[in-house]
Amino acid sequence: MIVRDSTWQKKLDDEVKKFLAKPPIKLNGNKKTIPEAPGVYMFSSEDDSDCYYVGKARDIKGRIFNGHLTRSKRKTKDGIIRDYYYKAPLKNSLLGWSNVGISEENPECSNEDEAHNLLLNKLNFRWIEIDNSRFRGMFEYYLTSVLNAKHSIDKDE
């Protein structure tokens, strides 16, 4: 029989408490405040009542500014070229795109400018530096589950 490792559970719970106790910031395009370090990050609503997205990265600054805030073009099944944010799953979800490129009904944002503004100026942002890649992955999944991230990405798609 497999037994849960209570040491890991306690460590994860302790990290969640520390993470959520950190005051959030607004990105506002200011790259200087975000570290070029491995860790886990989260976008949450302005009032901090909803978790929008949890992610992990080897370089948090690079992931945010060269991933979530970049764009490229992609063809839909109908051959129409649309904006698609290749390494930006949160922005894709806000615009109604799943991570497999299928358009969803009733997106939260109607265009790229609106999504970009939401990420930069309205959503709260937090991060925690975590060097250990195994723990970083565990913490990302745990935080996503515990906070029920609104725009979590199904890795199986």
**Tens digits of per-residue pLDDT, 4-39?**
678 888 889 999 999 999 999 999 877 889 999 999
Q: Is the pLDDT of residue 109 over 80?
A: yes
- pLDDT for 51 equals 95
Averaged pLDDT, 97-119:
76
- pLDDT for 116 equals 86
Averaged pLDDT, 145-153:
87
Which burial class, exposed, middle or buried, applies to 145 when counting CB atoms under 10 A from its CB (0-12, 13-18, 19+)? exposed
- pLDDT for 52 equals 94
Residues 50-106: pLDDT tens digits? 999 999 999 999 999 888 887 666 666 677 666 655 567 888 788 887 655 555 677
Does domain 26-124+136-147 correspond to CATH entry 1.10.10?
A: no
- pLDDT for 84 equals 56
Q: For helices 6-21 and 133-147, what crossing angle results, to 10°?
A: 70
Q: Is the pLDDT of residue 3 over 90?
A: no
- pLDDT for 152 equals 78
CA distance 142 to 148: 10
Most confidently predicted of 21-30, 40-49, 113-122:
40-49
Query: Structural domain boundaries of the chain?
Result: 26-124+136-147
Q: How many CB atoms lie under 10 A from the CB of residue 55?
A: 23
- pLDDT for 14 equals 93
The encoded tokens of residue 91 equal: 């922005």
- pLDDT for 59 equals 97
